[in-house]
Amino acid sequence: MRGRVVPAHCRRDGGATGFTKTLQTIMAIDWQAFRLTLQLAVTVSALLLVLGLPIAYWIAFSGWRWKFLVEAVAALPIVLPPTVLGFYVLMALGPHSPFGRWWISLTGHTLAFTFTGLVLGSILYSLPFAVQPFAASFASVDRKLIAASATLGASPMRTFFRVIAPLSIPGLITGAALTFAHTMGEFGVVLMVGGNIPGVTRTVSIDIFDRVQASDYTAANQTALLLLVLCFAVLTIVYGLNRKAWTISPTGKL
Amino acid sequence: MNPPRSIEAVESASLTPISPAGEPSPERSTPLLEARFRKQQGLQFSLDVAFQATPGFTILFGPSGAGKTTLLDCVAGLAKPDAGRIAIGDSVLFDSAQRMDLPVAKRRVGYVFQSLALFPHLTVEQNVQYGLTHLPQAERRARAATILQQFRIAYLAHRSAREISGGESQRAALARTLVTDPAVLLLDEPLAALDASTKAKIIDDLREWNRTHRVPILYVTHSREEVFALGERVIVLDAGRIVAQGTPHEVIEAPRQETVAQLVGFENIFDATVEAVHPERGTMTCRLAASDQGDRVLLETPLVRADAGSALRVGIRAGDILLATSLPVGLSARNVIPGRIASLQQRDVIVSARVNCGVEMEVHLTLAARDSLQLVPGREVWLVIKTHSCHLMQA
C-alpha cells in the first residue's frame, strides 16, 4: 500500500533533497585517502601472499626445536600496541639505524613518511594475519598426501605447488582477506611511520581521526561507515567462501 | 603346493634369506631388497630387524604396534633408522656407515598407504599421472591409460578422486603407484576395508602385475586369508623384532613362538611336558600341566626334535576341537578326552564352550550343534582332537 505512495512523493521535492544529500555525502568522503588506503591494502596483501608462504611453510613443517621462538615473534604484532611497533619501524627506517642509512645511501632519501615506508610497516603489522591462517591450513593437509607425493618422485617444491597449496586455498584466501581488511583499518603504525601527508601517507583512518579532531562528525561518520561496510563485506565473503570450501573438500585428517 | 616340512625348518629371527632350495631362480639378476636396521621410538619401542625380500610377495604379519608400518616407512625413507643399511640390489637407499640417506623422491619405492592418500583435488587420471612428470605428455597419457585398463578403472579416469568408492580408490591408488615402475613395492594393508570378493579380484590383478614386474613386494596384513592367498614368504613381526619367517605353511601352521600362536588365534595354549617320543609313528605323547584337582591329560602330538621330559607349549584352536556326547569309536583322531562342560557362551553366531577335562579347553561350536546335542553346563562330553591340530611351540 505504502509502496505506491512513496515513489510519487519522492519524485517531487523529496527526491531532489535525497539526491543532494547523497552528493554531499560523497563529497564529504576524502576519496584520495580512500584510494591510497586501497592501494596500500592491495599492495600489502599481495606482498604478504608471497612473503608469507615460505614463512608459513617453515612454521608448519619445520622440526626445529626453537621454532616456538620464531612463532612468537611472528605473532607479536597481534598483541603489540601499534604505536610501539610503529615507533620501532620509524627508528629502523630513520637515518640513525644501519638499515635507514643503507637505504638513504642507496636512494638519497629516507623511507620514513613515504608510501614505501608505510608498506614496510604494514607488512610487519599484518604479518600474523597472513602467516597464521596459511600455516594452519598447511599443517592440516594430510601428511600421508605429502608422503605419497614424495614416494611418487615429487620434489618438496612440486609437492607444495601440486598438493599442499591447492588443498590450502581456503586458508590462503582467509589470510589474504584478513591482511587486506586489517591494513584497510590500521592507524597507529601509519601515524608513526607515515604521518599525515595527503596523497602519500594519509589513509582513511587518519582522515577520520582528523575530522573528529576538527569536530566534523558528519564527515567522520560517513567515512567510518563506509570503512565498516567494506571490512564487513570482505569478511562476509571470506567466511562464506570458506564454509563452502569446507563442505566439498576433505579436512585433510584421515 | 608346499611340501610338508618339519618345523625345525623354521628358524626364528633367522637372518638368512628364505630361498626354497628346490625352486629354480630364472631371474638371478632381479634385485633383492636387503635391509638390516634399528630405530628407537621413544623409550618404549625399538625396531630392530634384518631381512631379505626376493621378488614376489613377502607378507609382513604381526599385531598392531609391532612396527610393521615403521619398517615400511624406513624402507621408503619417510622415517630414518638410527643405524643400519637398506639396499635394493646394487642401489643403496640408506647406509648409516656411509652417511647415506637417499631422499624419498629418489628411492623408486612404491608405497600404498592404508589410507590410500589419493589426491582429493585431482581426477583419477591426474592422480595416476602424478608420478610420471619426467615423461613426455603423450607417453604419460599412454602409460596411465594402460594401467587404468589393467586395473579395470579406465571408466573412472575423469572422475574426481574424492567421488569414487572404496574399492575403486584402492585400485586407483595401486595403479598410481605401479605405473611408476617402482624397484620395490610397499603395501600397508591397502585392501583392509574391502569385502572378500573385491579383495580377491584386486589380489588377482596384483598377481598379474607381479608376473611381469618381478620386484620385491612387502605386504602388511592382519588377515590370515591374505597370508595364504598371497604369501610366498611371511615375516612375523612382534614388538619390533622378527620372531619368525618362512612360508605361510611353516610360520602360520606350525608356529614355534608363542606370539605367533596368539596372533593366529590359538584360544588354547598349555604348558606341556614330553612324556614319550614315538619316532616310528611320527608322533609324541605330551602331558599337559593340569590344574591341581584335575586328572592328568595326555595328548598325542606331531613329532618335533625334543627329548622326553623336556618342556613345550601346545596350542590348539578352539575351532579344531570336536565335541561328542558319547564316547566315539572308530575315529582316526588320536586324542579322545573325557570332560564336562563348565560354561556355554554365545558369541554372535558361534557358541564358545569351556570344557573341563583336567585342563580347561575352549571349544567353538555352531548354534545348531549346541541345540542338536542339547549341550548344557555340567553335561559329560568327549573332546576329539587330531594329532596335527596340536601345535607345538617353545616353552
Q: Give residue-wise pLDDT tens across range B84-106.
A: 999 998 889 999 999 999 999 99
Least confident of B148-157, B180-189, B323-332, B343-352: B343-352
**3-state DSSP helix/strand/coil percent for chain A, to nearest 5?**
80, 0, 20
Q: Which of B72, B93, B104, B111 to mutate to test the interface with A (most CBs of A within 10 A)?
A: B104
Closest among B112, B84, B109 to B98, alpha carbons compared? B84
Task: Provide the chain B residues 58-77 that lie in CB contact (below 8 A) with chain A.
Answer: 76-77
pLDDT for the residue numbered A195: 79
pLDDT for the residue numbered B124: 94
Cβ–Cβ gap B78/A150 under 8 Å = yes
Q: Render pLDDT for B139-195 as a digit per residue (tens, 0 to 9).
A: 999 999 999 998 889 999 999 998 898 888 989 999 999 999 999 999 998 777 777
CB contact B110 to A (< 8 Å)? yes
pLDDT for the residue numbered B86: 95
CB contact B80 to A (< 8 Å)? no
Query: Could you tell me the CATH superfamily of domain A31-248?
Result: MetI-like (1.10.3720.10)
Least confident of B38-52, B190-204, B324-338: B190-204
Amino acid letter, B37: F
Cβ–Cβ gap B121/A155 under 8 Å = no
pLDDT for the residue numbered B225: 66
Chain B residues closer than 8 Å to A158 by CB: 133
pLDDT over 70, % of chain B: 85
Cβ–Cβ gap A152/B176 under 8 Å = yes
Could you tell me which residues are beta bridge partners of residue B50? B36
Q: Which domains does chain B have, with CATH numbers?
A: 7-108+182-263 (3.40.50.300), 268-394 (2.40.50.100)
Amino acid letter, B201: K
Across chain B, mean pLDDT equals 82
Chain B residues closer than 8 Å to A155 by CB: 105
pLDDT for the residue numbered B291: 58
Q: Which of B74, B93, B107, B113 to mutate to test the interface with A (most CBs of A within 10 A)?
A: B113
Q: Least CA distance to A150: which residue of chain B?
A: B105
Q: Which of B129, B133, B162 to mutate to test the interface with A (most CBs of A within 10 A)?
A: B133
Task: Provide the chain B residues 123-142 that lie in CB contact (below 8 A) with chain A.
Answer: 130-131, 133-134
Q: In Å, how far from its chain's centre is CA B255?
A: 12
Q: Render pLDDT for B203-232 as a digit per residue (tens, 0 to 9).
A: 888 888 888 888 999 999 877 667 766 767
Q: Which triple of cell numbers denotes residue A67?
A: 621454532
- Separation in Å, CA of A62 to nearest CA in chain B: 15
Cβ–Cβ gap A254/B115 under 8 Å = yes
Residue B10 predicted with pLDDT over 50 = no
B258 pLDDT tier (thresholds 50, 70, 90):
low
Chain B residues closer than 8 Å to A144 by CB: 113, 115, 117
- In the predicted model, residues of chain A with pLDDT beneath 70 are 1-28, 243-254
pLDDT for the residue numbered A170: 87
pLDDT for the residue numbered A6: 42
DSSP string of B163-223, one letter each residue: GS-HHHHHHHHHHHHHTT--SEEEEESTTTTS-HHHHHHHHHHHHHHHHHS--EEEEEE--
Neighbours of B79 (CB within 10 A): 15
**Interval B1-9 mean pLDDT:** 39
User: Which comes out higher in pLDDT, residue B395 or B110?
Assistant: B110
pLDDT for the residue numbered B74: 95
Q: Where are the domains of chain A?
A: 1-29, 31-248
Exposure string over A12-33, b if 16+ CB within 10 A, otherwise e: eeeeeeeeeeeeebeeebbeeb
Closest among B18, B387, B4 to B236, alpha carbons compared? B18
Question: Cβ(B257)–Cβ(B226) under 8 Å?
Answer: no
Q: Render pLDDT for B12-49 as a digit per residue (tens, 0 to 9).
A: 333 333 333 333 444 445 689 999 999 998 888 899 99
Strand pairing class (B311-316; B268-278): antiparallel
Strand pairing class (B184-188; B268-278): unpaired
Sign for the pseudo-dihedral over CA of B110, B115, B121, B124: positive
Chain B residues closer than 8 Å to A162 by CB: 119, 130
Between A and B, how many CB-CB pairs are < 8 A?
65
- Separation in Å, CA of A123 to nearest CA in chain B: 32
